[in-house]
Amino acid sequence: MLKDVERLDTLVNHVLEATRLENIAKNYGLKEFNLKELIEESKDIIIRRYNLSNDNFKTNIKIELIKSDPTALQLVIINILDNAVKYSFDNIKIDIESFIDKNNKICIIIKDYGIGIPNSELNKVFRRFYRIPGKTENKKGSGLGLFIVKENIKNLKGKVEVFSEGLNMGTKFKITIPNK
């Protein structure tokens, strides 16, 4: 019952966040924070949510202090990690890395080794309420998580990209944001 309450709470929060993101221009609170700590905290939330261990994750965080909106960025990371777990096989493995790219932008890459995304669906996964036909019916979710990811990254003046070589080949998300 507690898991159902948590799932319902997450759904309501996703609907509210998606509506807010679509209807208002958000003034993000840019401040300096430790990206490594934010990623570790996000990972810990997912570990508790799904009863995983640190062994399920491999991290390579090459930057620590950045200036951005920590709340928006944490929401993005948690949503992507949540999907990575939900759409993985029994042996969950997720890689997380961050670095500064050649344009002096912050890059965060989250890669899973799960069911992947068919090539024909890659351009659709960021749509509001979109769920991949035939692959998501037995998975809990609202189809709002990646919409929220896209809107938050767009509002941070960044870009989010998704890559998958197809079914059973995993998925990789690349987030690029300015370091204000």
What is the per-residue pLDDT across 45-69, written as a single tens digit (0 to 9) for each? 999 999 999 999 999 998 889 999 9
**What's the pLDDT score for residue 24?**
46
Backbone angles phi, psi at 59, to 5 degrees: -120, 145
Q: What pTM was computed for the model?
A: 0.83
- pLDDT of 23: 46
**Average pLDDT per block of 10 residues along the chain, 180 residues long:** 56 53 58 95 95 96 90 94 92 96 95 91 85 63 82 93 90 93
**3 burial level (CB within 10 Å; 0-12, 13-18, 19+):** exposed
pLDDT at res. 32:
93
Tokens of 22: 């679509």
What confidence score (pLDDT) does residue 141 get?
62
pLDDT tens-digit series, residues 113-139: 999 988 888 889 888 877 776 655 556
